[in-house]
């Protein structure tokens, strides 16, 4: 063998050794996916498996793990011997066409530990909410640092990689605050009092400007639960929406009043609207007077607008129920009325009732109505409602 041949052989052996060492280093490093984690803990004892899982979760910043921008890996521990289930927007909260399904959200045990796992998927721009269920006891995911409030209690939140955050919800920087006054308004039509909150935007007292008015149904939820006056403050401070006077109206008997109640319509159209126009600097015209409702409140808003098109000229319907479209399809006068309205419909992809918004959109198109349709990758929840406000206000209220 020549000297050159000896050098070449040694060089090749060195390369082989370097590759082998690099391979061992890669094996010794932390796994880069949940599947590799599962492989890496095979054959380990219970304590070592648990430690490896917890290192992996910590490195990921908590659960669920997001892989390939759309895959979700949930990890959770049993509690008092009870296995967890993961239910949320991504699996319709275990509701199926056949009813509630106790098997939805079941998780697979990781042998030798008290950890369980489950895989799901979501759009890469989605925002989702979920809880862990231990039998019937819902709890936020303790391994997820994101937690929010909802009408039924705290939930965990998922923000997918391409989710666009809403500054009016997330940014808590101080901004000028509007004025909120709560009153009880006596209604002759209803024969009862109703709680009403009047919101005046920042600068109202110092100006002589006329303002459009937005009447928002389910007032207590929007004011006390979702803190929407603060959301409006932030929207106006960022010039993300035109300043408005907002009137939040609480129902007394929600199912009855929001289901085509003549007395409730009279209260809204013939008592509350004139009171607001007399008391505040408003544009006293239908095209500057909007109705906004969510869920069953969306049904009520559409119904009231088509019954009083000379009073309300614009409507925002968030996550309306399936029966909302029948307001139009069952009534010729309603199909005629919507042609004089501007209507915005917001749907949530992960809402069990998403067909309600889609059917309403179709009915409005067929009636030749002016409709703006928006569909977001979220579920039926408070943050979706609040996050839709800027789009709704821009869609239904035009500049004079």
Q: Is residue 17 part of a domain?
A: no
355, 380 Cβ separation under 8 angstroms: no
Q: Is the pLDDT of residue 396 over 90?
A: no
Same domain, 158 and 188: no
- Which residues neighbour 53 within 8 Å (Cβ) at sequence distance 6 or greater? 37, 41, 75, 110, 113, 115
CATH number (domain holding residue 180): 3.40.50.1820
134 has pLDDT over 90? yes
Residues 346 and 225 in one domain: yes
Cα first-last separation, the chain: 94
**Among the three residues 162, 182, 216, which one is the final residue of a domain in this structure?**
162
pLDDT, tens digit (0-9, with 9 covering 90-100), for 145-190: 999 988 889 999 999 999 998 889 898 899 999 999 999 999 999 9
Residue 90 lies in a domain: yes
Strand partners, 133: 85, 138
Query: Which residue in 203, 343, 181, 389 sits closest to 281, CA to CA?
Result: 203
Confidence class for position 3, pLDDT limits 50, 70, 90: very low
Q: Select from 276, 271, 317, 270 the least CA-distant residue to 293.
A: 317
On whether residue 350 sits in a domain, the answer given is yes
Shared domain check, 48 and 130: yes
For 179-238, the pLDDT digits (tens) are: 999 999 999 999 999 999 999 999 999 999 999 999 999 999 999 999 999 999 999 999
- Kindly report the CATH number assigned to the domain that includes residue 81: 2.60.40.10
Answer yes or no: do 78 and 92 share one domain: yes
Residue 16 has pLDDT above 80, yes or no: no
φ, ψ for residue 51, nearest 5 deg = -60, -40
Q: Which pLDDT value is given to residue 374? A: 96
Note whether residue 104 is domain-resident: yes
Place of tokens 């269920």: 133
Question: Tens digits of per-residue pLDDT, 331-362?
Answer: 999 999 999 999 999 999 999 999 999 999 99
**Predicted pLDDT at 11:** 37
Look at residues 162, 179, 209 and tell me which one is the last residue of a structural domain.
Answer: 162
On whether both 155 and 248 belong to a single domain, the answer is no
Same domain, residue pair 96 and 173: no
Same domain, 153 and 217: no
110 pLDDT more than 80? yes
What pLDDT sits at residue 400?
54
Q: Are residues 207 and 354 in the same domain?
A: yes
Residues 33, 37: Cα–Cα separation, whole Å: 6
User: Given pLDDT bands bounded at 50, 70 and 90, which one contains residue 390?
Assistant: very high
Is 67's pLDDT higher than 90? yes
SS3 string, the chain, reads CCHHHHHHHHHHHHHHHHHHHHHHHHHHCCCCCHHHHHHHCCCCCHHHHHHHHHHHHHHHCCCCEEECCCEEEEEEECECCECCEEEEHHHHHHEECCEECCCCCECEECCCCCEEEEEEECCCCCEEEEEEEECCEEECCCCCCCEECCCCCCEEEEECCCCCCCHHHHCCCCCCCCEEEEEEEEECCCCEEEEEEEEECCCCCCCCCCECEEEEECHHHHHHHCCHHHHHHHHHHCCCCCCCEEEEECCCCHHHHCCCCHHHHHHHHHHHHHHHHHHCCECCCHHHEEEEEECHHHHHHHHHHHHCCCCCCEEEEECCCHHHHHHHHCCHHHHHHHHHCEEEEEEECCCCCHHHHHHHHHHHHHCCCEEEEEEECCCCCHHHHHHCHHHHHHHHCCCC
Radius of gyration of the chain (CA): 28
Q: What is the pLDDT of residue 24?
A: 34
Answering whether pTM is above 0.85, one says yes
Q: What angle do CA 204, 247, 333 make, to 5 degrees?
A: 125
Q: How much is the pLDDT for 30?
A: 81
Residue 6 lies in a domain: no
* 379 plus 344 within the same structural domain: yes
Q: What average pLDDT does this structure show over 75-94?
A: 96
Q: Which residue has the higher pLDDT, 320 or 169?
A: 320
Same domain? 102 vs 230? no
Q: Is 183 contained in some domain?
A: yes
In-domain check, residue 216: yes
Where in the sequence is the domain holding 128, given as residue range(s)?
Answer: 28-162
Counted domains in the chain: 2
Angle made by CA atoms 149, 85, 165, in degrees to the nearest 5: 35
CA atoms of 155 and 144, how far apart (whole Å): 10
101 lies in the same domain as 132 = yes
d(CA 236, CA 227): 15
Same structural domain for residues 119 and 245? no
- 364 vs 324: CA distance, rounded Å: 11
Give the count of beta carbons closer than 10 Å to the beta carbon of residue 397.
25
Look at residues 98, 130, 162 and tell me which one is the last residue of a structural domain.
Answer: 162
For residue 23, is it within any domain? no
């Amino acid at each position: 063998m020549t000297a050159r041949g000896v050098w070449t052989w040694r060089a090749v052996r060195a390369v082989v050794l370097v590759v082998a060492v690099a391979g061992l280093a890669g094996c010794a490093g932390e796994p880069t996916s949940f599947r590799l984690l599962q492989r890496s803990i095979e054959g380990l004892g219970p304590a070592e498996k648990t430690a490896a899982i917890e290192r992996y979760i910590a490195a990921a910043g908590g659960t669920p793990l997001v892989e390939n921008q759309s895959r979700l890996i949930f990890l959770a521990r049993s509690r008092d011997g009870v296995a967890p289930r993961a239910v949320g927007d991504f699996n319709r909260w275990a509701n199926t066409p056949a009813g509630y399904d106790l098997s939805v959200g079941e998780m697979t045990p990781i042998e030798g530990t008290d950890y369980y796992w489950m895989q799901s998927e979501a759009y890469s721009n989605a925002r989702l909410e979920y809880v862990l269920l231990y039998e019937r006891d819902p709890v936020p995911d303790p391994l997820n640092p994101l937690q929010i409030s909802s009408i039924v209690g705290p939930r965990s939140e998922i923000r997918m990689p391409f989710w666009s955050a809403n500054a009016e919800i997330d940014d808590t920087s101080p901004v000028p605050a509007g004025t909120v006054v709560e009153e009880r308004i006596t209604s002759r039509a209803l024969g009862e009092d109703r709680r009403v909150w009047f919101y005046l935007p920042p600068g109202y007292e110092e100006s002589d400007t006329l303002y459009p008015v937005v009447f928002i149904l389910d007032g207590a939820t929007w004011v006390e639960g979702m803190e929407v006056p603060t959301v409006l403050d932030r929207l106006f401070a960022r010039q993300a929406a035109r300043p408005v006077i907002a009137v939040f109206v609480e129902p007394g008997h929600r199912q009855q009043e929001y289901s085509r109640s003549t007395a409730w319509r009279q209260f809204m159209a013939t008592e509350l609207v004139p009171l607001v126009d007399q008391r505040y600097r408003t544009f006293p015209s239908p095209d500057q007077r909007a109705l906004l409702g969510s869920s069953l409140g969306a049904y009520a808003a559409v119904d009231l607008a088509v019954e009083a098109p000379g009073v309300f000229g614009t409507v925002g319907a968030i996550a309306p129920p399936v029966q909302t479209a029948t307001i139009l399809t069952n009534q010729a006068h309603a199909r005629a009325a919507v042609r004089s309205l501007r209507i915005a419909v917001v749907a949530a992809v992960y809402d069990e009732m998403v067909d309600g918004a889609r059917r309403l959109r179709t009915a409005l198109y067929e009636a030749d109505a002016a409709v703006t349709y928006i569909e977001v990758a979220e579920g039926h929840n408070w943050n979706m409602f609040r996050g839709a406000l800027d789009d709704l206000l821009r869609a239904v209220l035009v500049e004079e």
